[in-house]
Structure 1
Amino acid sequence: MLIQSEFDIQFHLPGETPMVALLHLHPSLDSVLRSTDDLVVEHIDANHSTTIVPENYTDSFGNRCARFHAPAGALRLSGNSIIEAPETPDPQPFGAEQHHVEDLPSEVLQFLLASRYCEVDRFNAIASDLFGNLPPGGERAMAIRDWVNWKVRFDYAKARPTKTAMDVYTEREGVCRDFQHLAITLTRAMNMPARYVTGQLGDIRIPFSGAGDFSAWYQVWLGGRWWDMDARHNTPRLGRILMATGRDAADVAITTSFGQANLTHFYVESNEIDSSGARVPLPPRLVGQVPSHVPPQRPVNALVTQSE
């Protein structure tokens, strides 16, 4: 199937501001990309817009990043892309082996450690009490995912940029990134490498559930590969579009501004299209069916960060 993704994010900058954006698709999607993957950066005034050409680089996690220096005023970041995606939902790690730590590839060891939002050292006893009696491997990883999905309540109003895994464990509410931080931390505490993912997850072959947003999920290293896991949407889904991976949300903010940047407009959509480029209609929602989320008020899942 073909999936088209597009975004339009706008800011007002009180002064000149250096910025970094992680809005390109992940390099692992190059083979399924069916269009360009351009990021358009524009400075807009009353009469016209001026294109700013970013400098692209690859960060230490292998993500595509764009850095640029924006003048004061209105700033617009936009782009769209088309990928060819599999028509099968997320594979599940039934029977996947959990490696001994000494047998893990060196490059995945960092995803066992504590990070900004994932206080692994505070969860060793908690994770052992909850999941220590389960068979290691895929079954344990899925049990952690499903436990977080069951115990945490989704609420956009409860988002805050300082919320850690321990905060989520205590408060039991949050947004996508909070679900994933708690699941990642519990997974790492059971000696399974887990990394944070940001990307797009639209309503693909399911009923419309509200306005689009960037999404967060995570990946677990089992049986010699990474498996997509999602403590917020723990039912296998179609159409995940990977943008960036890191230790937690701090590593993969969609934008980081080194100065004040006030968000004024936010639009993200991801839809299945046919060969002519027309959107494929979604199935109707059943009477009484509850939407899976409410329309976003700001891109809290992907973490827009600001440095002063």
Structure 2
Amino acid sequence: MQLNAGCELSFHAQTPTPLILMLRPRSGAGQWIIREEYQINPAVNVTEFTDMYGNLCQRVVAPEGPFSIHFSATVQTADIIDTAPGAPYTPVEELPDDVLHYTLPSRYCQSDQLGQLAAQITENVEPGYDQAEAIRKWIQESVKYQYGTSDASTSAVDTASSRVGVCRDFTHLGISLCRALNIPARMVVGYLYQLDPMDLHAWFEAYVDGRWFTFDATQVRPLGNRITVAYGRDAADVAFTTQFGAMTLDEMKVWVEAADTDSNESEKKSHDAPTLSSSVGSTNKTMN
């Protein structure tokens, strides 16, 4: 499916403030960027770099006063998510070098403190994909989704105790429980079609049988039509905006809609864009 997605952020800076932005998705596994538009008001110099996880990042200095960012894109997305019940666990000694660090505890994912819970959830479950799916299902059924119950300091250990949170918290918990079983897991942020309520979204991927698979503990069933913006160890690596000064976010708008294309335009785009595999998931190493 082709999706029109984007966000609009309105800030007010008390002083000139450096920012790192992470708003541009890149073509890769399960998605192809057909069109994108980036508007910054007032206009400022922008430089772009690729971080250690392959994410596109932009550096700007917001002037004092109102400052807004508008990003929109049309993206060809995969309609379904790969699933692989029974896919085997990948032993640590066989993990690629660039995957190995996703087995370690990180700022919001204290996997070293959640081993007992992970063992309880996955008791009598075959190692590998089935363990990650048991974790996803347990979180979806056992943790209540509720706005206003967590903040930027909430960790996976906090969520395991409170059993309440939002997508960020569900994701941190899923990552931590997987890592407690020596299954590499990473955070993914982006857009999800028909998310309710609409917002920027987070989910996790687990590495089994030599590749990454998508898991979303906020959803009852696997859903495709996702636009990935960034990957990282946890929320500290994938913030959409990181500011270095006195600056407030006044308003944020997010949208994801099916792209309206007539038959001629659809035919043209099908020739212009490469054919995607039918589902999300890849051994692509450039997006780590």
TM-score bracket relative to the smaller structure: 0.7 to 0.9
2:62 is the counterpart of 1:63? no
**Count of aligned residue pairs for this structure pair:** 263
Tell me by how many angstroms 1:125 deviates.
2.4
Q: CA RMSD in A?
A: 1.7
Q: Distance in 1 between matches of 2:11 and 2:193?
A: 24
Give the corresponding residue for 2:34. Answer: 34
Change (3 A) 1:6 1:130: closer
Does the Cα contact within 8 Å between 2:2 and 2:259 map onto a contact in 1?
A: yes
The aligned amino acid for 1:165 is A
The aligned amino acid for 1:8 is E
What 5-or-longer segments of structure 1 have no aligned partner?
A: 44-50, 278-308
Give the corresponding residue for 2:139. Answer: 148
Does the Cα contact within 8 Å between 2:168 and 2:202 map onto a contact in 1?
A: yes
SS at 1:231's partner residue? coil
Tell me by how many angstroms 1:238 deviates.
2.6
Give the corresponding residue for 2:155. Answer: 164
Change (3 A) 1:29 1:64: farther
Q: Distance in 2 between matches of 1:31 and 1:120?
A: 30
Does the Cα contact within 8 Å between 1:165 and 1:182 map onto a contact in 2?
A: yes
Tell me by how many angstroms 1:126 deviates.
2.4
Identity across the alignment (%): 34
Q: Distance in 1 between matches of 2:125 and 2:260?
A: 44
The aligned amino acid for 2:78 is P
Tell me by how many angstroms 1:30 deviates.
9.8
Give the corresponding residue for 2:45. Answer: 53
Q: Distance in 1 between matches of 2:31 and 2:218?
A: 28
SS at 1:10's partner residue? strand
Q: Distance in 2 between matches of 1:234 and 1:119?
A: 25
Tell me by how many angstroms 1:263 deviates.
1.1
Q: Distance in 1 between matches of 2:30 and 2:47?
A: 19
Change (3 A) 1:24 1:250: same
SS at 2:28's partner residue? helix
Hey, which bits of structure 1, 4+ residues long, moved more than 3 A? none
Q: Distance in 1 between matches of 2:46 and 2:29?
A: 21
Give the corresponding residue for 2:255. Answer: 269
Mean Cα deviation higher: 102-111 or 118-127: 118-127
Query: Which whole-Å deviations, capped at 9, do the CAs of 1:222-272 have from their partners, x for residues lacking one?
Result: 121111111111411131100000000110000000012211111110111
2:237 is the counterpart of 1:245? no
Change (3 A) 1:241 1:142: same
Give the corresponding residue for 2:215. Answer: 229
What 5-or-longer segments of structure 2 have no aligned partner?
A: 264-288
Does the Cα contact within 8 Å between 1:118 and 1:182 map onto a contact in 2?
A: yes
SS at 1:11's partner residue? strand
Does the Cα contact within 8 Å between 1:199 and 1:216 map onto a contact in 2?
A: yes
Tell me by how many angstroms 1:146 deviates.
0.4
Give the corresponding residue for 1:109. Answer: 100
Give the corresponding residue for 1:300. Answer: none
SS at 1:94's partner residue? coil
SS at 1:25's partner residue? coil
Does the Cα contact within 8 Å between 1:29 and 1:242 map onto a contact in 2?
A: no
The aligned amino acid for 2:65 is G
Change (3 A) 1:147 1:263: same
2:122 is the counterpart of 1:126? no
TM-score normalised according to structure 2 size? 0.87
2:245 is the counterpart of 1:259? yes
